[in-house]
Structure 1
Amino acid sequence: MTSKTYAYEVAVRAEAVLGEGPTWDAAAGRLIWLDILGARVNTYDPVSGHRTVRVTDQHVGAAKPRAGGGLVLNLRDGVALLDADDSFRWLHHEPVPGRRANDAAVAPDGSLWAGTMRYDEAPGGGTLSRFTGDGSAETVLDDVAVSNGTGWSPDGRLMYYIDSPTRRIDVFDHDGRHVTGRRVFAEIEEGAGFPDGLTVDADGCVWVALWDGAAVRRYTPDGALDRVISLPTPRITACAFGGADLTDLYITTARVGLDAPHPVAGSLLVVPGAGKGLAQPAFAG
């Protein structure tokens, strides 16, 4: 494992209750990130420093760019489309009492793989579902507690997935639409926190944010831990590469449940030059 020290910077100082979902929007040259419990979709342009905040009517688990412009949102009551003119419409409306949206990712074919969880985090209360641009939905996993990080290998043949309470990063074989052969890719040891969001880099390595672990870890394609980025606040939620050359690692953090939050808790952090990310597809809808 490398002993290199990574220095973080505060990209956006904020007090997000549950900062999450960093996503690089290449077409707009900006980073999208969320405050799930604050019901806010944020954008940040690292070149100009320009920021925007949009308050949603519901808790929002994910916001991803669409191929035709605008955003697809994973909301408490389903998946919705936000057009470039700010008009809103449901793509798939399915409210379930006590359940909310959580992390989501866009697959190589442009479909959205969106997770849910119960507010009380009850085992089996969450799902992972696949949505296409025409609004069709397919449940992929129906026995999840806290559906979290999802990502694909550079060739698209593997899908990585996290159900946080298991303390595992799992890997599936992916044929372009379906996943099979679930197995353990890596496990987070007791006392090191829980795996949350993830991203896959250009070398096929998996970067994982550790909730209550104050760190982001990188695992090689064979599941070996080879890098650790230590951070000053415990609730690290997700990470994604951004910037024009996809070499800057953006990291979201949370304040929820902390009695004495560190000054950067809830902020958007960045580690310049941390690695090399993969260009992410836009939602085909």
Structure 2
Amino acid sequence: MQVDTAVPAAARSGRAPTWDIGTETLLWTDPPARSAHRFVPGRTDHAMELPQQVSAAKTRSLGGLALHLTEGIALFDSTGSHRTWLVYWAREGVQAGATAIDAKGRLWATTLGADGWLARVTGDGSASIVLRGLPAANGIAWSPDSTRMYLTDGSGRIDVLDFDLDSGQCGERRPLCEIDGEPGGLAVDADGRLWVAIADRGEIRCYTAEGALERTIPLPAQRPTDCCFGGPDLTHLYITSATDGVADPTEADGSVLIIWNLASGLRPHSFAG
């Protein structure tokens, strides 16, 4: 399996790769560097500097971006020049974590810290804490039919919750599978398989919907952090990586990697706000 470099970078901790269907570009962030990026395949990588850490940049149905910042969720207009706070939840010792958009356009975000939580945010800015006790939740995804939500939280496993798309309600959290490693972000393909970045093993692993390990792909980056499907047909897997925590970084560490024509990904959704 050939793994190439899509974006040569030295990101401290690349995060939240997100394919923007409207522009056919890749959004990704580097929280410690306080930067959000838009990569135009085959051309260039544009960086936007921000006043605080940003863990994710997601497209909005009204145009512009929704950014998950340390102090909450902020909306940027299509020019990137005007910012407004949608949800402000600044707390001492709390950092921005994972972010995902469900099929109804709701934004789901975690915070990192001893009292980390999972919050649901609607387009009008209404926010509810759905789960507490998530100190290191790094990944959120849904099954193709949106009846299951998947979470990785640094506990050495992937968890699953029954999910009701219409109401946005979650069932009880339960283990899907144990992982001998540190699971980071994850992506789900059209067949319901889970592709997970294993941060301390330098691997991407594929698990079935039943939690069975199907495939392991070694990577040239030592600390992969997250992944998403992108490209014109959503068949390429983009993988972010980090240099933080890597003793002897190589050129691949901190770059955004790509595996071509790996599987068919799910269509990403935009935030309805």
Counterpart of 2:38? 43
Return the match for 1:185 from 176, 181, 184: 176
Provide the C-alpha distance between the structure 2 equivalents of 1:195 and 1:188, rounded to a whole number of angstroms: 7
Unmatched segments (≥5 aa) in structure 1: 1-5
Return the match for 1:175 from 154, 160, 164: 164
The one-letter code matched in structure 2 to 1:198 is L
What SS does structure 2 have at the residue aligned with 1:144? coil
Return the match for 2:49 from 51, 55, 61: 55
Provide the C-alpha distance between the structure 2 equivalents of 1:83 and 1:174, rounded to a whole number of angstroms: 31
Return the match for 2:215 from 197, 212, 227: 227
Counterpart of 1:3? none
The one-letter code matched in structure 2 to 1:39 is R
Cα deviation, 1:204-243, whole Å, max 9, x if unaligned, reads 1011101111001111111111111101222110010000
What SS does structure 1 have at the residue aligned with 2:133? strand
Q: Is the 8 A contact 2:139 2:185 kept in 1?
A: yes
The answer to whether residue 147 in structure 2 is matched with residue 153 in structure 1 is: no
Deviation at residue 50 of structure 1 after TM alignment: 3.0
Counterpart of 2:16? 21
Provide the C-alpha distance between the structure 1 equivalents of 2:264 and 2:216, rounded to a whole number of angstroms: 16
Counterpart of 2:128? 138
Deviation at residue 61 of structure 1 after TM alignment: 1.1
Deviation at residue 43 of structure 1 after TM alignment: 0.8
Deviation at residue 262 of structure 1 after TM alignment: 2.0
Provide the C-alpha distance between the structure 2 equivalents of 1:278 and 1:233, rounded to a whole number of angstroms: 25
RMSD of the alignment, in Å?
0.9
**Structure 1 range deviating more: 265-274 or 176-185:** 176-185
The answer to whether residue 50 in structure 2 is matched with residue 64 in structure 1 is: no
Unmatched segments (≥5 aa) in structure 2: none
Deviation at residue 257 of structure 1 after TM alignment: 1.9
Counterpart of 1:207? 195
Moved over 3 A (4+): none
Provide the C-alpha distance between the structure 2 equivalents of 1:80 and 1:88, rounded to a whole number of angstroms: 7
Provide the C-alpha distance between the structure 2 equivalents of 1:213 and 1:68, rounded to a whole number of angstroms: 39
Provide the C-alpha distance between the structure 2 equivalents of 1:263 and 1:44, rounded to a whole number of angstroms: 18
Deviation at residue 94 of structure 1 after TM alignment: 1.4
Provide the C-alpha distance between the structure 2 equivalents of 1:12 and 1:49, rounded to a whole number of angstroms: 10
Counterpart of 1:265? 253
The one-letter code matched in structure 1 to 2:34 is A
The one-letter code matched in structure 2 to 1:254 is A
Counterpart of 2:29? 34
Q: Percent identity?
A: 43
Return the match for 2:74 from 80, 98, 104: 80
Deviation at residue 186 of structure 1 after TM alignment: 1.3
What SS does structure 2 have at the residue aligned with 1:37? helix
Cα deviation, 1:117-169, whole Å, max 9, x if unaligned, reads 12xxx3xx2111000111100001111111111011111100001111x1110
The one-letter code matched in structure 1 to 2:160 is V
Cα deviation, 1:221-275, whole Å, max 9, x if unaligned, reads 1111111110122211001000000000000000002221122110000000111
TM-score (norm 2): 0.97
TM-score (norm 1): 0.93
